[in-house]
Amino acid sequence: MKRVLYLGLLALLTFSVITGCSSISMEEKQQDTPKQTQAEASVKKELSPMEVLMKSNEAMNKLKGLAYDIDAENTLNTGDIKMNVKMNMSVKEKQEPFMMHGKGNVTVLGMEMPMEFYETEKYSYFKMGKEKWQKEPVDHSQVEKPDDSLKEIEAFMKAASDPKATKMTKNNGVYLLSLDLQKDQPLKGELLNIIEDDLKDLLEDEGTDQSGKTPDMKELENKMKLDKLKLKVEVDEKTFELKKLYLNYGIKVSEGKRNLKMGMKISMDIKGHFEGDIKLPAELKNK
């Protein structure tokens, strides 16, 4: 579950950097727009995609709580093995103190089972099907600091993609930002790093040759190609709060005689502010 959220947030960073360092046209769908003086036009200067996302990030960080739905699908095809995992989850989270609770279903190889999780500052608790609750410490090394994000942005600028792949429109009070990277684009820079960790976990699980050994990821970098990457982000024009996020990406790797394909779809729908309380069940407090 944490990986899904992590990829979603990184997707937002991916878009913000690529759009921020490209020459992008801003299209606003309006009817009967009155003429403006030069001074009025200056005051009402259109925001760039990067500015919209920065304002959205600031607005979301100020919220005390949030409720959202997530639908995700992860696919893996190694030639010998085909795997498909689907998940739909309703999530609530609050700050001070931090607490998350999610409940939904996960489908693995066609078998659907219920899934539930809680997460605090220190621990995550999760349960699938009829299994007992599991407890794990939260890995704070995956939490990015502002300086880390700035470094990633700088790296993205150096590896900026085709500006025609990005677009931003404004309609009915909503900014719609979209990114569509071309097929067979080599993975490089931070775009590679975003996907690399997830791929490494899958390769370690399946092995990549007859010996069962997993090659160093550096050896695979030149063999990775982007099959597709589509991203859509909706941001409220007035509040700058995130409304929806959709990510669909696929990569392929040629390793010896094997051709590996991996893909992920994530759809995140913000339901609104959450101002209630989330309490850890009694059975988990002493676990």
Measured CA distances, 189 to 141, 158, 213 (Å): 20, 8, 25
- Highest mean pLDDT out of 108-122, 205-219, 245-259: 108-122
Give the helix/strand (H/E) hosting 274.
none
List b or e across 58-67, with b for residues whose CB sees 16 or more CB atoms inside 10 angstroms.
eebeebebbb
CB 212 within 8 A of CB 161: no
- Report whether 271 contacts 91 (CB < 8 A): no
Q: What pLDDT was estimated at residue 40?
A: 45
The tokens for 31 are 């009817």
Using DSSP bridges, classify how beta strands 65-77 and 82-94 pair: parallel, antiparallel or unpaired. Answer: antiparallel
Residue linked to tokens 């407090």: 285
Q: What is the pLDDT of residue 224?
A: 73
Whether 31 is covered by a domain: the verdict is no
- Averaged pLDDT for residues 20-48: 48
pLDDT band at 237 (very low <50, low <70, confident <90, very high): very high
Determine the structural domain holding residue 86 and report its residue range: 2-26+36-285
**Residue 137 CB neighbours (<10 A):** 8
- Residue-wise pLDDT for 146-189, tens only, equals 434 434 444 443 444 556 667 789 999 999 988 776 665 555 55
For residue 227, tell me if it sits in a domain.
yes
Average pLDDT value for residue range 85-110? 91
In this structure, the number of other CB atoms found within 10 A of the CB of residue 131 comes to 10
Tell me what pLDDT residue 6 has: 41
Q: Is 122 within 8 Å of 140 (Cβ atoms)?
A: no
Query: Exposure of 23 by Cβ count < 10 A (0-12 exposed, 13-18 middle, 19+ buried)?
Result: exposed
Q: Could you give the percent of the chain with pLDDT greater than 70?
A: 61
Q: Does 57 map to a domain?
A: yes
Highest mean pLDDT among 6-10, 75-79, 142-146: 75-79
Report how many domains make up the chain: 1
Nearest to 243 by CA among 116, 105, 69, 77: 69
pTM check: above 0.85: no
The highest-confidence range among 46-50, 131-135, 204-208, 247-251, by mean pLDDT, is 131-135
What's residue 35's pLDDT? 54
Most confident of 20-24, 175-179, 258-262: 175-179
For range 97-113, the mean pLDDT: 91
